[in-house]
Every structure is written in structure tokens, then in C-alpha cells.
Amino acid sequence: MSQTNNRQAIHYQAQDRECEIFNAAANNKLPVLLKGPTGCGKTRFVEYMAQQLKRPLFTVACHDDLSATDLVGRHLIGANGTHWQDGPLTRAVREGGICYLDEVVEARKDTTVVIHPLTDHRRLLPIDRTGELVEAHPDFMLVVSYNPGYQNLIKGLKPSTRQRFIALEFDYPQAKLEASIICQETGLDTQRAEQLVLLGEEIRRLKDHDLEEGASTRLLIYAAKLMQSSLSTVEACMAALAQPLSDDRDTIKAIERLVNAHF
Amino acid sequence: MEEFIGEVWHKYISAKVATGYPEAALELTHLQSQLSTYFHGLGGAPGKVVEAAEARALNNHRPLLQRIAGSHRRASLCWQDQRSLRLPPVIDYLPEKSLNEALYFWLAALAAKLPKMSHWFLDNQLATLTILKTHPGLKTGYEKLAKAVVEQRPLIEHLPLKLQAREQAMQQAILKPGSVDSLPMAAGDPLFVPLWLYPAPLFDVANNQAQDDEEQASSAKKETNEPPETLDTPRKEAQRFDDEKQTDGLLVFKLDALFSWAEQVDMDRSQQEDLDQDLQGAADDLDVITLSKKRKAGSAKVKFDMDLPAPFTDDLYLGPGIKLPEWNYKKRAMLKDFCFLQPMVSDEATPKKLDNNLKKEANALKRQFNLLRPISALQRRQPFGDEIDLDAWLDIKTQPNATLDGENLYLAKKQNERDMSTLVLADLSMSTDSGVTTQQRVVDVIRDSLVLFSEALSACDDPFALYGFSSIKNKQIRYQLLKNFSETYSDETRGRIMAIEPGFYTRMGAAIRQSVSVLKLQKSQQKLLLIISDGKPNDIDHYEGRYGIEDTRQAILEAKRQGIQPFCITIDSQANDYLPYLFGDQGFALVRKIQQLPKLLPKLYLNLTQSI
């Protein structure tokens, strides 16, 4: 769990009307579901919106051992006996703020029990350990994200859960936008950024055939950052774009060829 | 002696004119998968594969010596069509291995940018220019290649005078693409350019068109015109087959027994069944439709049914066979005992060791699945156990009124977390005979998948069984036992898997019903029915289209009612049309690239077991 405070301004370039939709959802106290491939800017978007809305953000990266207790809270032993410690979800519900459950399908099934009453008109969080029923703060908002990819082929969200959210689909940004994002994030020159984006598109074409997932915007930014340091362009691309995506020698070699074709 | 001299001469003259650098030769097979990835990455159509090209005849100028030796008439050109990109099987054109390798990748890149060609000379230059613009990294590489290629071409002044201008233009176009917009005319084809793509070879279809029409007209006069039947099938690759010189029937007797023409009876066996309704199905099943040039002969119908194998060559029948019901959606009723299913086992399959090609993959999977062996997982809140469950203790401590009576405060080690039996049902119908690549058929991929899957599952001790099925109408559904639940995976089982052969049709409903009854006997908590298929259910009777789908759906619903989890893995690209209806949105997976099936199957199994 991490709580982000609004210290420095976060950059986010809208791809479409997602900011407006998110704002409308926030104003109407509706929960939001973000779907899209890895590293296309879902988390960044939530951080940005939290800052825009001036609400604290509670981010929880879900994993397969994450249970409802981790979200709601637990009893801890202190010097003066035991005391109750709120989990990130409970804090957001009490204090008002955005609770962001990243990769929600990874979490255990029992988490849906706490999500359901929070995502309809009741906006309640029952804490069975303490017997408390917390009514959500007007500023509370639940945002979940998931990645409809191969590994979630079976896992997918249950329709009964999906139906409770406003959903926004994310994808890798358009070439021009992506290049400008890279420039802004790393200060790379436009020409090389554009070349990098072209390379990224080519690698993305290999998805589902040779790669499980294409090169994310995040990886492109990493590559650009490496380029800005002392590494050579090709080295940077290999380290950031080829090796992380595949273990297959032939695929890596082919990607190396693609890199060489650009730089 | 003559032969000896001939041979010596051939060797001498061939060596004299041989071009290329065998010591720098590079074979396509070493680079094929890299090239394919590269080609697709650069924008080549996703379904296109990379294949070796056959040598094609060229009509270009050859020096005297080459003409004497009779060499250099053919070259392996690079070209592509809808299906694949053809690259030369070997490149030894340039003196250095690295250059030849670069040439391969260059051709793949060019092909990705030039999916359709209208003008060979201009389009190649144009595509070269575009690539060099979008991929500045290729620039120096191309310059090197172009220089090396031009060095291999004959000096302009050595050529006959009338060819000089054209060769000059060619070399210019290679070195400075885009700088020449027209090619001077000269006799023959321009000299072979290894850097460029060539158009797909043309097959002479238009030939004899007039004659064809004429014949059609005359035959139409004689016969009453039947209403034209329109077959709503995707376009098929067509071949013209010239049967003009052949007789209409098959002469299967010795020719010396043919005394007079009177003995040759023009027989027309009457049709017992109307086959017209199956024309559509038959057309769907064929890959290439061969068209007869002779209208009349073509219109004669031949009735045939695929015969069952003779009893002595067929697999061993197990038991008297099983009667199974089938769902008729029109009557909305179950037809009792409508299908006859024959379990069988291949008794002639010899035990086999694991194939060398699969060893590496199998070992990797085994290691992975070994980790999934039921390890002792800790169970919380148990009445007995090895360790104290602090969470449980804390819970009690935080409730002041709680007593310690009967509380479960221990962590116990749990023995087997995953309790699942899997039955894999593989479609072995004739359609799996179709080729994935030239060397590999769908059934080969299914076989590899089954082997790897078995290797993986035997490593983690999960019980599993393997069956295959095919059918010929409702009277015989062949249910092939490859491995049952009780036997251990061994060389014998592997031999049986390796011996599977495609045949007949896909009556899926009955096979699923039988698998369910086998799986039902398993005592494990979860039961998974994994179906590997390459297309819709179909058979030669009415079992196709909606009928087959409805019956299969019924069988799947029955399975679900009995607590079995069905899951389908298909390679049919149109699966999205009907599989959601059969298996539900989350109940199937479409594998687009079938070569990946062997690797994907165990992965899918993991996903399934973790989510259920």
C-alpha cells in the first residue's frame, strides 16, 4: 500500500476524453474500472486525477495472497494490548480519497465481498472484525484496474463485479502523442523519440505471436532514459526493449535486428 | 568411358562457371524463425509464414561459358503471395557470411514494406527508399549490400552492346534507389537482382478460355439446363486439370483384355442418395478444388464414401461399444441410443522414447511442474497443528469475552491442495491432416502438445487421461484411448500418442458425453475436461452447422451439471463465432499460432487450475 501526497505536479497527457469521464464519475460518486495493457499509463492517470481532484490516493498493488483483511484492516498488538489498524480501503472510506486497486483480478476472491457494498448506492464498508459499519466519506472513490491479457484469460472479472463500475479502456497512445510523452518524460530529442516509437510499434506487432505482450510506453520511456545516460542507443534498446520482453533467443535476435534497423 | 568423360566435363565446366561463395553460404533454416519475427515486426501480414522459395526460370543474358554449361538458367527469387513470403533456401551470392545474412534480413524488411507490387522496377526502388527513410539504421547496411551486389554483376563493357544501357540503369537503381524512373528496353529479363523482390509467379489461367466456352455452349444445348447452384463458400484456390486426353472412366483392367469398344459399357450408376445437399460441405472440406476442363465429364457425379479400415488393420476394439443419446434441437428432444461409440486402443503402437526435438521443452516444463507438486501448505485455524496460528490467537485476545474452549489456534500442514483430474479429448478428424507448414500437420502439433502436456502433468502427479475421437456418422464414433486415469505415463503411452493419425469427422457431442462418464468416476474434487479442437463439430450426415453445435452445447451443459469443468482450446480462427455459445465467454481459448500450442497447453492448464 502506498499513499501519495500531492507534492509535485504530475504530468499526464490525455489520449481521449478520459479526464472528463473520470471527473464526471467522481462528481457522481461512481466507481471506475480501468482496463488496458501493462505500462500504458493507468496508474499515472489515477495519480494525476487524484491530484486534479485534490483527493488523497491510496494505491494497493493486488497479488494473489491479498485478502479482504489486507484491505480492511487488522488487529495489532501494541504496548497497551491490541488495537485496530485500518487498512488502506478503510482509511479511504473514512477520510475520503481515492482507493486504487491495481490489477484487481490478482486479488483473492473474498475481496469482492468488501467491494460490492461499496460500489452500489449503499456506499458502506462493513468491518466484521470490529462489527463496525462505515459509511463512505463523500470524497471516497474506488478505482480498480486490470489487464485483459493472456494470463487473465481465465481469471477475468466476474460480470457481477464488472457491472458495478464505469469502465475506461486504455491503450498505448498514438504515435505522435507517445513521442511527445517520451520527450516530456526524458528530454530525449524528437527525432530519436519518434524513431523509438516506430520501433515500439513494430515490437507490438509481435504480440500474441512471438511475445506475450508488446513493448509498453513505460519501457519506451525507460529506453529513452537509458539513452540519455552514457549508454549507446542500441544498448539502451536491447536492455529496455528486448531482454525484458522475451527469453527466446531467436526473438531477441530478431528484435535486435529491428533495433539496428532504426538506430 | 563416355559417361566418365561426360562427368569430368560436367564437373570441369560447372566449376568453371560457378558463381557464388559456397564457403560463405547461409541456409534459410538457421534464420527462419528470426526472419519471421523480423518480417512480422516490420509490418508483414501476421498470418504470413516465411518459406523457402523454389528456383524459378529466368530468361536473362548468360555469358558463353554459362550457356555451354547449361547453368544459371534458374534462380531462387524472393517473392510473396497471400500465404507466405518465399526466401531463397540458401544464399551464397556474396563473399562474406555477414553480407549474406544481411541480405536475408534486407529481403524480409523489403517484403514487409512491399506487400503488393505493380511495377517491379519502380516499386522495388520506392520501397527501398521508404524503408531507408523510416529506418535510418539500415542505411549503411544497405549501401554495403548494394555495393557488394553490384560488384558481383558483370562489368558493363563486357556485356553485348544492346544490353549495356539497361544494365547501366539497373546498377544505378541499386546503388541510388529512386534515381532511375524508367528501364531501357532490351531483350530478355534483366540480370537477377538478389536485393529485390519479384512478383509472384503467374499461372496461365486465361489459356484455352475460348475453347472452354464453346464446349460449354454445345453441352448446354444438349442437356436441360439445371438452375445454377450457388455455393456460399470462401474462394478456393483453383487448378485447371486437363483431362481432355484421358478417358472418362477409370480403366482398371489389363488393356490386352480390351477387345472391342463394344465391351466398354458406358455405365451410369443411379444415385441412391442425393448428394447435392452435401456439395457445400464437401467444398468446405477441400483445400484446392480441381476444375475439369471438360464440362460434361465434370458434371458426372461420383459417389464414394470413406471406407472404414479393414478389420485386421484397424485398432483393437475395447468391449462391444456404447450407446449414447444425441440432442435433436429441431425436435427439442434427446434421441435415446442414437449414437454408437466404439472405444478402441491402438494395439500395434510401439513404445517410444521422448523425441529429441521435444526434450528441451519437456525438461523445462517438468522442472516448472515439479514445483507444483503438492507441497505442504499451511492451513489456518486448525484444532491441531505444528505451529500456533498467531492471527487466530490475536482474534481471541482482542475479544475480551472470548474463551479458549474449542478454538482452533494452530497452523497445520495441508497435504494436497490441488485435487483435480483432467481428461484431455483431442479432435483427430481428417481436418487435422491439413498442413501448418510444409513439414508439419495440425495433428503433429496436437501430438506434440499431448506429449508435452503428459510430461508436465506426470511431473506434478496430477491424475490425467488422454483420449482422441473421430466419427463416421452416428453409427461409429471412434473413441481412441491414449492413456486412461489408472495407468502411469510410460513409453507405451507415448507410443500410442505418437501413433495417432487423423481420419473421418467430428461428432463432438457423443465424445464429450463419453468423456464425462469416464471423468465422473474420478474421486477428485475438481474435474477438468480439456477439449482440443480445430473447428466446428461436423459429420457427413445432418450433424453440421446448427445441429452439431446444439448437440455439443447440450453435452457441455450436461457436463457442467455434473460438476465437470469443460474448457476448449481451439485453433479455428472463426471460433469466436460459436465457441462462446458452447463454452461460455471464459470457457475457451483461441490459439492463433498453432505452433505455440505445445508450449501454451501446460500454461493454460496452470491458469485453469489456479482459478478454479
Measured in angstroms, the CA of A54 and the nearest CA of chain B are apart by 37
Confidence bin at B5 (pLDDT 50/70/90): confident
Task: Return the number of CB contacts < 8 Å for A and B.
Answer: 88
Report the pLDDT value the prediction gives residue A256, as an integer from 0 to 100: 92
Nearest CB to B46 within list A195, A209, A259: A209
Angle, alpha carbons B211-B216-B218 (nearest 5°): 100
CB pair distance less than 8 Å for B105 and A257: yes
What is the pLDDT averaged over residues B236-263?
Answer: 49
Mean pLDDT is highest, among A217-221, B83-87, B341-345, for A217-221
Which helix (DSSP H) or strand (DSSP E) does residue B169 occupy? helix B161-175
Angle (CA) A239-A243-A246 rounded to 5° is 160
The pLDDT value recorded for residue B106 is 93
Name residues whose C-beta falls within 8 Å of residue A128's C-beta, 6 or more positions apart in sequence.
none
**Does residue B479 sit at the A interface (CB-CB below 8 Å)?**
no
CB atoms within 10 A of CB B470: 26
CA–CA dist B84, B579 (Å, integer): 28
Q: Does an H or E element contain B494, and which?
A: helix B491-498
For B361-385, give one letter per residue: b (16+ CB within 10 A) or e.
Answer: bbeebbeebeebeeeeeebeebeeb
Which comes out higher in pLDDT, residue B206 or B326? B326
Tell me which chain A residues have a C-beta less than 8 angstroms from the C-beta of B599.
none
Q: What is the pTM of this model?
A: 0.60
Backbone angles phi, psi at A149, to 5 degrees: -120, -165
Q: pLDDT tens digits, residue range A152-204?
A: 444 567 778 888 999 999 999 999 999 999 999 999 999 999 999 999 999 99
In chain B, the N- to C-terminal Cα span, in Å, equals: 78
Nearest CA in chain B to A215: B41
Q: Does B319 touch chain A (CB under 8 A)?
A: no
ipTM greater than 0.85: no
Residue B610 confidence (pLDDT) = 62
Spatial neighbors of A51 by CB under 8 A, at least 6 apart, are A6, A9, A10
Average pLDDT, chain B: 75
Contacts with A208 from chain B: Cβ below 8 Å: 592-593
State the amino acid at position B434 in one-letter form.
S
Work out the pLDDT band at A134, boundaries 50, 70, 90.
Answer: very high
B229: confidence class by pLDDT, cuts 50, 70, 90:
very low
What are the pLDDT digits (tens) for B584-602?
Answer: 766 778 777 777 777 777 7
C-alpha cell at A254: 530478431
Task: Answer whether residue A142 shows pLDDT above 60.
Answer: yes
Query: Who has greater pLDDT, A137 or B7?
Result: A137
Chain B: nearest CA to A247, how far in angstroms? Answer: 13
Q: Classify the phi-psi angles of A104: left when phi > 0, otherwise alpha if psi is within -120 to 50, otherwise beta.
A: alpha
Could you tell me if A52 and A24 are in contact, meaning their C-beta atoms sit under 8 angstroms apart? no
Distance CA B255, CA B253 (A): 6
> Residue B491 in contact with residue B350, Cβ under 8 Å?
no
pLDDT tens readout for residues B529-577: 888 888 778 888 888 777 888 888 888 888 888 888 888 888 777 776 7
Q: Rounded to a whole number, what is the distance in Å from the CA of A82 to chain B's nearest CA?
A: 6
Whole-number percent of chain B with pLDDT over 70: 76
Give yes or no for B611 touching A (CB within 8 A).
yes
Count CB atoms within 10 A of the CB of residue B451: 23
Q: Do B607 and A195 touch (CB under 8 A)?
A: no
- Would you state the pLDDT for residue B294? 43
